[in-house]
């Protein structure tokens, strides 16, 4: 029985030792790799990328600016007419003709403001398209700011007329 135990220990040692003498190609080499020695292959520099062109042509931006200016001029002209109508409606009862005329005129003025707002909406759409292509356009941003200022001026004018008319 003692001999049988010695034989099983011997077979166990043979199995362990044969594992150590296995094929050396199965394991990675411990030699330094090229990137560890600093000897990387030289790659040519990428070619210069072409300059990013604006998403919107300057002619289209100029047309939108002109459209906004025309709408704003129409608003200012109509605002001057409505100021007289608003003053005549001030202090009048809700059922008076002067008040009804002023309310219709205010609706017309708000509609005129909508024409300028539509240009801003077109500019916002162009800016969104430029943002999705990662192509910012400073000229577009400048015109957006300009048209937004026109709309702010129109909003202030409408609020002032409502104050004149009263509630």
DSSP string of 2-50?
Answer: HHHHHHHHHHHHHHHHHHHTS-GGGS---SPPHHHHT-PPP-PPPPPPP
Q: Is the model more confident about 66 or about 39?
A: 66
Q: Is the pLDDT of residue 51 over 60?
A: no
**Per-residue model confidence as pLDDT tens digits over 99-130:** 999 999 999 999 999 999 999 999 999 888 88
Chain center to CA of 93: 48
Q: Residue 37 falls within a domain, yes or no?
A: no
Longest Cα separation, the chain: 126
Using an 8 Å Cβ cutoff, are 110 and 162 in contact? Answer: no
Please tell me the total count of domains within the chain.
Answer: 1
> From residue 127, how far is each of 20, 98, 111, 124 by CA, in Å?
68, 43, 24, 5
Residue 78 lies in a domain: yes
Q: Across the chain, what does the average pLDDT equal?
A: 83
pLDDT in tens, 5-37: 667 766 666 666 565 555 666 777 788 877 777
Q: How confident is the model at residue 4 (pLDDT cuts 50, 70, 90)?
A: low
21 domain residue, yes or no: no
In a domain, 9, yes or no: no
Confidence band of 160 (pLDDT split at 50, 70, 90): very high
For residue 120, being part of any structural domain is answered with: yes
Residue range of the domain that includes 117: 65-165
């Amino acid at each position: 029985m003692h001999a049988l135990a010695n034989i099983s220990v011997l077979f166990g040692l043979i199995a362990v030792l044969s594992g150590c003498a296995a094929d050396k190609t199965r394991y990675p080499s411990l030699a330094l790799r090229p990137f560890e020695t600093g000897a990387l292959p030289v790659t040519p520099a990428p070619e210069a990328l072409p300059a990013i062109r604006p998403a919107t042509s300057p002619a289209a931006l100029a047309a939108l600016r002109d459209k906004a200016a025309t709408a704003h001029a129409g608003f200012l002209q109509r605002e001057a007419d409505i100021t007289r109508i608003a003053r005549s409606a001030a202090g009048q009862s809700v059922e008076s003709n002067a008040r009804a005329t002023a309310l219709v005129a205010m609706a017309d003025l708000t509609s005129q403001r909508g024409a300028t707002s539509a240009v801003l909406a077109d500019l916002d759409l162009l800016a969104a398209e430029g943002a999705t292509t990662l192509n910012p356009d400073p000229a577009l941003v400048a015109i957006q700011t300009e048209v937004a200022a026109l709309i702010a001026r129109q909003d202030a004018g409408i609020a002032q007329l409502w104050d004149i008319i009263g509630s």
